[in-house]
Amino acid sequence: MRRTLAGRMVLTTVVVATVAVVVAGVVSFGLVRAATLNDARAAASAIADEWAALPQNELRHRVAERPPVAGEPKIALVESDGTVLGSSGIALRPKVRARVATGSKLSATISIDGAPYIVEAKPAAGGDTVVVARSIRSVDSQVFALAGKLLLALTIGLAVAIGAGILLGRMIAGPLVRTAAAARRLARGERGVDLPSSGTAEVSDVVEALEELDGALGASEARQHEFLLSISHELRTPLTAIAGYAEALVDGLIGPEEIGGADGVGATMLAETRRLDRFVADLLELARLEAHDFPVEPGVVDVSKLVTEAVTAWRAVAEAADVTLSARTAPGLLGETDAHRARQIIDGLLENALRVTPGGGAVTVTTRAGAADVVDAADRHSPGTVLITVSDTGPGLSASDREVAFERGVLHDRYRGARPVGTGLGLSIAQRLAARLGARLEAADTPQGAAFLLALPAARADERRVEQAPGRAGS
């Protein structure tokens, strides 16, 4: 029970209620006893006043007629010479008797025959004094009778509190138990699980969070399923081509006149193998980016030099595709980043731009410092950044394309068969890599073609060491 929420709530309720009952009982007993003693003293004082107001003869007569061993209260008459009449002669201490004999008033608690008494004394006619004594033990007997009823009431209250604790524990823990069961079903792969409702705000928040998680997991799994189907298709295409040509070679169906003979078949199989290798490499890179231990080694980088080297490395590919590749760099731009990873992003953007740009087009890479005062979507960056823009004169991207440009495979599926496409992973990898570098990659709005802007953190002014940019990182 102590390990469950309901058990702990019941245990806490029992402990709190028990402590409350004990405290309330002790305090109530003290208050009841004090009130009863005050009432007994007031009653004794009223009796003393009533008897003291009687004429002396009637007073002596009533005292004489009172039984020698009277019950409570005890009433006696103290004469001026100290003689005590009535109630077996209340055994007052000499000092008290002497004081009362002088006709003085007295309201005190006095020990008589070893027992505590409430004593009220009032002067009467003829110099006598009426003494009324009430045993505190008789008062306590009344208090204990009341205490028994009070204890019964407190016990009933304790039982009600325990019952309420059990009911509250079930009311709160019940939905949580059902919610936990639903969460386990979600963990086992079920989706669209009916979650319990609860009137408790905190439990309702947990249920709402699980509902959101259920929806997010469903959407994520749907995307993953879609992605896996896309991967299967992309892998199957080159594998089918390679397998087909290999079987044709084995069966001797490829003659010298067939697509260039063995050399032509080998070239086709090599191209398909490279395509497959590039796709697998992209998948591995994406998996590495998801890992927590992805290595990043930041340093001060000459961004203009990095861009110039990248453009030089890709120029041969551009010339083969009849595309003009150029760089417009601003000298002295230093960024704080990992040179190898930054070059990897630039290479990916260049590969993408060169693939979609038709012959006779152009791809341009520009660098500049971030300018917050320029009203341009491409310049929404603080001056503490270095901006690299890769633009092309290809078919371009619409506003809806830019919104999903970095989602895996979306543009690939949207334009497959309509324009040259890659693996569908390149832009997603580039954006994730930029995030790892503390940079930002976005699709910029441009009147012609497409443009991607990479914003790198600028190096601090006090840093002097510049990391040497690596050679081409590959496509």
CATH number at 269 reads 1.10.287.130
Total domains present in the chain: 3
Name the strand (E) or helix (H) holding 25: helix 5-52
Same domain for 343 and 211: no
Answer for the pair 107, 42: CB distance below 8 angstroms, yes or no. no
Same domain, 260 and 324: no
pLDDT at 367: 93
Question: Given the structure tokens 């070059």, which residue do they identify?
Answer: 343
User: Do 271 and 307 lie in a common domain?
Assistant: no
Within-domain flag for 63: yes
Domain boundary among 265, 290, 315: 290
CA pair distance 421, 431, nearest whole angstrom: 18
Same domain, 80 and 122: yes
Q: Is residue 14 part of a domain?
A: yes
Amino acid at 396: G
Instruction: For residue 185, tell me if it sits in a domain.
Output: no
What's the alpha-carbon Rg for the chain, to the nearest Å?
Answer: 50
Alpha carbons 205 and 210: distance in angstroms, whole number: 9
pLDDT score recorded for residue 284: 73
Final residue before a domain boundary, out of 122, 143, 164: 143
Looking at the whole model, is its pTM more than 0.85? no
351 Cβ neighbours under 8 A, 6+ residues apart: 314, 422, 426, 475
Q: How far is CA 369 from the centre of its chain?
A: 40
Please check whether residues 440 and 401 belong to one and the same domain.
Answer: yes
Residue 136 lies in a domain: yes
Q: What is the predicted pLDDT for the residue at 153?
A: 84
The predicted structure's pLDDT at residue 96: 72
The CA distances from residue 277 to 233, 392, 419, 428, in Å, are 15, 26, 22, 18
CATH number, residue 428: 3.30.565.10
Q: Which of 290, 309, 340 is the last residue of a domain?
A: 290
Q: How far apart are CA 444 and CA 450, in angstroms?
A: 7
Q: Is residue 314 part of a domain?
A: yes
Are residue 265 and residue 408 in the same domain, yes or no?
no
Mean pLDDT, contiguous 10-residue spans, the chain (475 residues): 66 81 84 86 88 84 70 77 68 70 79 81 83 84 81 84 78 75 80 72 78 79 66 66 75 60 71 74 68 75 91 88 91 88 88 89 92 43 79 88 80 71 74 87 89 89 50 40
> What CATH number did the domain enclosing 136 receive?
3.30.450
Tell me, yes or no, whether 332 and 427 share the same domain. yes
Domain that holds residue 446: 299-457
Same domain (yes/no): 237, 343:
no
Residue 173 belongs to a domain: no
123 lies in the same domain as 261: no
pLDDT confidence of residue 209: 83
Are residue 284 and residue 303 in the same domain, yes or no? Answer: no
Does residue 325 share a domain with residue 230? Answer: no
Determine the pLDDT at residue 467: 45
Residue 171 falls within a domain, yes or no? Answer: no
Which DSSP string corresponds to 345-411?
HHHHHHHHHHHHSPTT-EEEEEEEE--TTS--GGG-S-TTEEEEEEEE-SS---HHHHHTTTSTTHH
Both 271 and 308 in a single domain?
no
Does residue 184 belong to any structural domain of this protein? no
